A and B are shown apart, each in its own frame.
Chain A
Amino acid sequence: MYRSHVLVCGGTGCTSSGSQQIINVLEEEIKKQGLDKEIKVIKTGCFGLCALGPIMIVYPEGSFYSRVKPDDIPEIVSEHLLKGRIVQRLLYQETVADDGVKSLNDTTFYKKQHRVALRNCGVINPENIDEYIAMDGYEALGKVLTEYTPEQVIQVIKDSGLRGRGGGGFPTGVKWGLARMNDADQKYVCCNADEGDPGAFMDRSILEGDPHAVLEAMAIAGYAIGATQGYIYVRAEYPIAVKRLEIAIKQAREYGLLGKNIFDSGFDFDIDLRLGAGAFVCGEETALMTSIEGHRGEPHPRPPYPAVKGLFQKPTILNNVETYANIPQIILKGADWFSSMGTEKSKGTKVFALGGKIHNTGLVEVPMGTTLREIIEEIGGGIPDGKKFKAAQTGGPSGGCIPAEHIDIPIDYDNLIAIGSMMGSGGLIVMDEDTCMVDIAKFFLEFTVDESCGKCTPCRVGTKRMLELLTKITHGTATMEDLDRLEELCYHVKANSLCGLGQTAPNPVLSTLRYFRDEYIAHVVDKKCPAGVCKALLSYEIDENKCKGCTLCARVCPAGAITGDVKNPHHIDKNKCIKCGACMEKCRFGAIEKK
């Protein structure tokens, strides 16, 4: 028995800010103080509050230390762990109460959250199967194999109302039912862990924090549709997730929870990993399967749908990581429990990766139907530096933005589509008044042009032409006709592309045109970028009344564009200026303006 447990986050965010070093120093210090029989250090998955990493929680008190540095460790060990005196100074300030420590669940970041898919993340050691089993792990698989027929499993999933969390929102139970109906000598269960949306890291955190939940759910899916082999297609860019999955698969095999005759039921199921190699299009289901087969990851037309002819031409189901993470809970707690959460057509919870211009960047899980305002202002802690909220982007390069006027809309699949965005996999990037919406649309188009696989013409050529038009707009050389042409092209690419990548690529443009047309017009007609981002439309000027003639700007200017005598107002030669902004950054008198 240990008297105290120290949980240190080993997710990608905290590992990047040095949590492994924290663990090493911690273990060393604990040993030095002779506490290694009393205190156990556990490396967990993501706690969600990545902005405050590296994160460390000490139980039983539940003290939440944030942004921990290796130098802080000796103090925490000798004061808190040895003498029982919590180091108030290093606590996450919101958890400090007058009478001691406030529970993490009472902080604004966690209060409104409801963790289903993330329930074990940051709680268990993901590299130890026993900890998962202690949290009712593999009980759902046991229940299914001993008490349910495959049809009953599918019915429970259908009744729960669970829809695909990868973005499309297709009812999971229906998908399984279709694959069940197709007879074949071999069927496959695949897991889409090719999380390619820039700014989204929900799936990665689940794989890193609770890999067994995904394995268990895939085995349940295998039983339901009659498959004996599963594949997880995971991004090679997620080395920690890959390593934990490898460990989890090995442990599950050793415990007989994967392999032959699981729970003596006669059911065989095994899972192999396949690593992606950096192609966004492979998140599309047909492209993903082509990639597992070892080819160029190009999509192909549907039908036939994967439920009929998928991987290696056999009936296949493909679900997203987060979808799977919900399954064991649905089996254990019942369809009614799950469908009691959420809105009429979108049940359960959704995980969002909150990023961009927001205080609490990190991972949040909320019931469907939560409003954007609750997520941004309450959970996310609002926008830094007193800036104004402009828009939130959901769905990555396939989605659109939600402007301030829709901030009170309850978030679910159908509402987001109605306002021209989409749920996507759950990336939620917050933008403030300093973000240029034309530039953002161009950013996403650059991404799609890069990632278009080139198989179909509307996507290959269409997105390229759209990018050229957007570049023209940001350079201030476009006309109003170009704007019309851009919009027309959007509808054309949307209607005629082969796969989801091309069909949704125009969304960032269409939604910014819908809500921020005035910004486009400012670029085209007035040749101005209201947010001050598009370089070609900016000019830097020195306010003669504020300039003290300190010569600092002239010295930092890499182009030699600034002239003037000491103690006299300086001047910028617009023909030489390269608009790098170095002068403005350095000016101590706020005399340089960007127009």
Chain B
Amino acid sequence: MANKKCAIPFTGTPEQEEELMRVIHEHKEEKGFLMPILQKAQEIYGYLPEEVLEKIATETGVPMAEIYGVVTFYSQFALNPKGKYKISVCLGTACYVKGSGAVYNRLQQKLGIQGGECTPDGKFSLEACRCIGACGLAPVITVNDDVYGRLEVDDIDDILAKYAE
């Protein structure tokens, strides 16, 4: 869960803001509107910048403190931008038993970052996730929407090379 204040400046476009306002107005009369709004806002911006949270607070009347509480509670919400390629390593039980821990360690070593961090060039971010449900392919990692299964530690170099450009 990201809890550090974001160091990267906010670069929202007017189109994104228009889209955000549309989402807020579409949902704000519903019961339990906060989660759907935050989820869609994250879809629009890729993460949840403080400026966006403030906007949601102003428009919905939910205090900023409460919004921040909800955002930091759920692991899916990010206060920091992710890398261009988001790598998730499944550390669910089936994958763990089949050696995903070693895959995760190798990725941290190769990328020179810890889980939850992003490489300085903004290219790769790495995180551990809990079971994506492809246990038949264990161990599994995903890079954005691509899934790589039945992995061995030595496959990592080839996979990273694909995204190196």
* A interface residues with partner B (beta carbon < 8 Å): 12-13, 15-17, 50-51, 53, 195-201, 204, 236-238, 274-280, 291-298, 312, 353, 355-357, 361-362, 393, 396, 427, 429, 431, 435, 440, 443-444, 447, 453
Contacts and interface: CB of A to CB of B under 8 A. Distances in A.
B79 interface: no
B138 A201 contact: no
Contacts of A362: 136
Interface of B: 31-36, 38-39, 66, 69-70, 73-77, 91-94, 96-98, 129-138, 140, 147, 149
B74 A279 contact: yes
B137 A199 contact: no
15 contacts: A15-B147, A16-B137, A17-B149, A198-B91, A198-B96, A237-B131, A274-B36, A275-B39, A278-B74, A280-B130, A294-B33, A297-B74, A312-B31, A444-B93, A453-B73
**A-B residue pairs, 10 tightest by C-beta:** A50-B136, A198-B92, A355-B94, A277-B74, A199-B93, A294-B34, A278-B76, A16-B147, A294-B32, A278-B75
A238 B129 CA distance: 13
Contact of B94 (A16, A275, A298, A429): A429
Contacts of A447: 130
Nearest to A205: B133
Given A197-B131, A237-B132, A277-B74, A355 B93 contact: yes
A16 B77 CA distance: 24
A187 to B, nearest CB: 14
A422 to B, nearest CB: 15
A51 B136 contact: yes
A275 B131 CA distance: 17
B32 to A, nearest CB: 4
Contacts of B93: 197-199, 355-356, 393, 396, 427, 429, 443-444
A277 B75 contact: yes
Nearest to A354: B135
Contacts of B137: 13, 16-17, 50, 53
A201 B94 CA distance: 11
A361 B94 contact: yes
A383 to B, nearest CB: 12
A573 B50 CA distance: 51
Nearest to B101: A443
B136 A198 contact: no
B136 A293 contact: no
A199 B134 CA distance: 9
Nearest to A533: B101
Contacts of A293: 31-32
Contacts of B70: 294-296
B72 to A, nearest CB: 9
Given A443-B96, A447-B130, A355 B135 contact: yes
Nearest to A296: B73
Contacts of A51: 136
A201 B73 contact: no
Contacts of B76: 236, 276-278
Contacts of A277: 35, 38-39, 74-77
Nearest to B105: A580
A16 B97 contact: no
B135 A16 contact: no
A285 B57 CA distance: 28
A275 B36 CA distance: 8
Given A277-B38, A280-B130, A292-B32, 12 more contacts: A12-B133, A13-B135, A237-B129, A237-B130, A274-B35, A279-B73, A294-B70, A296-B69, A312-B31, A356-B94, A361-B135, A429-B97
Question: Which has the most chain A C-beta neighbours within 10 Å: B66, B93, B98?
Answer: B93
A50 B131 CA distance: 15
Contacts of A431: 97
B94 A198 contact: yes
Which of B77, B97, B132 has the most A CB atoms < 10 Å from its CB? Answer: B97
Nearest to A431: B97
Given A293-B31, A429-B97, A199 B135 contact: yes
A200 B97 contact: no
A196 B74 CA distance: 13
Given A274-B32, A277-B74, A357 B98 contact: yes
A292 B134 CA distance: 27
Given A204-B133, A278-B74, A361-B94, A355 B138 contact: yes
A405 B73 CA distance: 42
Contacts of B66: 295
B135 to A, nearest CB: 4
